[in-house]
Structure 1
């Protein structure tokens, strides 16, 4: 497949998605969504670190037998992969889109990166400790290493989609001055994905976004759920930081705040240690004490009580959120959506989650749910004549790239 020749007249966007434990990257054409290059890193902070990427259908893998820092990983991707692709393609890159988890109260929409934006993203790392600083590094390295590419760096924020959440949903029941003076409120995350899912579901159901009521479940190492009414987000599970909400790979999700006091006062744990436990040692990993990978827990569900425990808690909390968000839809839920690595690939998680939701009209077709040879970017898994339950392939890269083009066209 010779995408280079096919796309000589087209313009491209480079997308850099610096996550908590990986980097995803791609060069794609926004008009048709075709990716000239895409790849991802795996097993960061281990001696088995590797990067896999694909250029025009040809797969490459680089294995590192040493532990790599996040900066080292970014440098390798930018210098040894991206800068060695076709110079013709590089000249056609019109912008670089950076996924940033938290924009706080300062950065509410996608923006062209300048020094103020860079400083804000770094400053807001305390709100997304596993993500924002990595995005800051990605932007800084891009500016340094990709200066020859005549393009704009655009920051696209996960918190932007959740700006429509009403006051009763985003406020915490603590003294109001903590909001007015310190901007402590629910901000949410995964907004790029939830926004993309909203538009895709509108097309799939052939229904206007302005009248679309869905519940969107983005499930992966980080997981969140969003209630979307008339096309606008009205509630979401992640809060002031991405720590709140669902059980995740290493994050605890919802927690009684008094547990933190107990850890500090009775167990004599410092705040840094507590933060590390809740962000990096909890979730699926904390419950099964072996792995943060959902696939491990699912594969060992029937033979290992710890794995069963972690998956049962994960699915229980997810079911509870779906049930509560269904009450916000004015008696009309148009669809339940699963996306993200777990949402798309774990039929078992979907099965355990939906089995308790018949009371709100959700019924899973077990045969459709268990199909593994899916070629479409979406498929239905509900029983006939019941509320649609749809698995939609996540495509944050395309959503970010579209934001880049929109901003550049406004310049």
Structure 2
């Protein structure tokens, strides 16, 4: 089967085309700045060359039409016609309590995704736009599958996902912890067990997806029992531009003092906080580390806060699961920043985490064991592959 995977953001579309028999990526790329001046499609050729095509791309349907045209073009294409694409898998950010696994997209499923828009007003509408565009361009009979960021965490128990606010607000507005990065946490927690040759049903895993956005998940015997992001992706770790955990009273205090409304407050905690807000330098860990090496004290504080939050959650999840067998790092920072991994693991020797620092500083983006041989807890790097997980779910659902 050939599966096209689409990840539609508010102004972007990322895509990958897989040959599922050989597990080969036939094509990959993305469109940026949809609806803005200077929009473009950038993709990789089989020989590794990068190609950028500029053009006015006003909305998601024309963007997907552009992608499909490139995939079938004589100059850049890898398939002769759209009929070679057997199915399309979509990343859908929020499935609320309605979806606990990936599903074949039907009119009923679409209606339920629409009902979840209030929970993810910036993400679900472009996800829906991508689904509707494929239906329009490839026909209603082309199988499409929705893979939800939130689905993996639907196994959390009530005591983990409920907030300590009046229960009536949960009943009225579905206010609760949902968690995100579920497809990534599901992939790496499964893959790390394959890599180590152990049974997922026997392992207590802390999965650390650390990038510009970041979250940790406690995965006990193959199921997520807790995760650091909440009803929205703001809660939890300090992130590139997101505040993470913050006293709710601080928000009302700042709103009162600064005379700003909820929308402005949301922008502050989503776009101007985190590493950027503390350091004043950047939201990019590479630039933060450069500033730290140059003696920038605020950048050093931002880095220390970043690592400390991750360490705290590891300890919390060790308590929640009555121990840890595996700590797995993934995401852009988790896979590549040796300094972050070292700072996170330092001081956790008491719970059986002992890093091999020489190995730690050799590994950037490859699968590897970073702990010393007799470390009670295995510390492992597993590069995430959410697109392959989406393609794999799509294949199994369509075949099934």
Scaled by the length of structure 1, the TM-score of the pair is 0.87
- Helix, strand or coil: the match of 2:116? helix
CA distance in 1, matches of 2:360, 2:34: 32
Q: Which runs of 5 or more residues in structure 1 are unaligned?
A: 1-10
**How far off its partner does 1:101 sit?**
1.5
Contact persistence 2:212–2:239 (CA under 8 A): yes
Q: Identify which of 373, 386, 405 aligns with 2:395.
A: 405
Q: Identify which of 42, 46, 57 aligns with 2:47.
A: 57
Structure 2 matches for 1:299-338, cutoff 5 A? Answer: 299-303=290-294, 304-331=296-323, 333-338=324-329
- Helix, strand or coil: the match of 2:49? strand
Contact persistence 2:61–2:133 (CA under 8 A): no
Structure 2 matches for 1:166-177, cutoff 5 A? Answer: 166-177=157-168
Contact persistence 2:335–2:364 (CA under 8 A): no
For 2:22, the equivalent position in structure 1 comes to 32
Q: Confirm or deny that 1:384 pairs with 2:373.
A: yes
For 2:208, the equivalent position in structure 1 comes to 217
**How far off its partner does 1:228 sit?**
0.8
Contact persistence 1:70–1:134 (CA under 8 A): no
CA distance in 1, matches of 2:304, 2:32: 26
Closer/same/farther in 2, CA of residues 198 and 21 from structure 1, 3 Å limit: farther
CA distance in 2, matches of 1:172, 1:373: 37
**How far off its partner does 1:243 sit?**
1.4
- Helix, strand or coil: the match of 2:252? helix
For 2:102, the equivalent position in structure 1 comes to 110
Aligned residues: 395
Closer/same/farther in 2, CA of residues 165 and 350 from structure 1, 3 Å limit: same
CA distance in 2, matches of 1:51, 1:347: 32
Q: Confirm or deny that 1:153 pairs with 2:144.
A: yes
Output one character per residue of 1:236-279: Cα deviation in whole Å (capped at 9) or x when no partner: 00111111111112221111111221132232111111111112
Q: Which runs of 5 or more residues in structure 2 are unaligned?
A: none
CA distance in 1, matches of 2:304, 2:97: 36
For 1:228, the equivalent position in structure 2 comes to 219
For 2:263, the equivalent position in structure 1 comes to 272
**How far off its partner does 1:104 sit?**
0.6
User: Over the residues paired in the alignment, what is the CA RMSD in angstroms?
Assistant: 2.7
Contact persistence 2:34–2:63 (CA under 8 A): no
Contact persistence 2:203–2:221 (CA under 8 A): yes
CA distance in 2, matches of 1:294, 1:49: 27
Larger mean CA deviation between 385-394 and 41-50 belongs to 41-50
Q: Confirm or deny that 1:243 pairs with 2:229.
A: no
**How far off its partner does 1:55 sit?**
3.4
Q: Confirm or deny that 1:16 pairs with 2:6.
A: yes
Closer/same/farther in 2, CA of residues 243 and 77 from structure 1, 3 Å limit: farther
Contact persistence 1:97–1:154 (CA under 8 A): yes
**How far off its partner does 1:212 sit?**
1.5
Q: Identify which of 61, 67, 78 aligns with 1:86.
A: 78
Q: Identify which of 354, 360, 364 aligns with 1:363.
A: 354
Contact persistence 1:319–1:356 (CA under 8 A): no
**How far off its partner does 1:140 sit?**
2.7
For 1:121, the equivalent position in structure 2 comes to 113
**How far off its partner does 1:74 sit?**
3.5
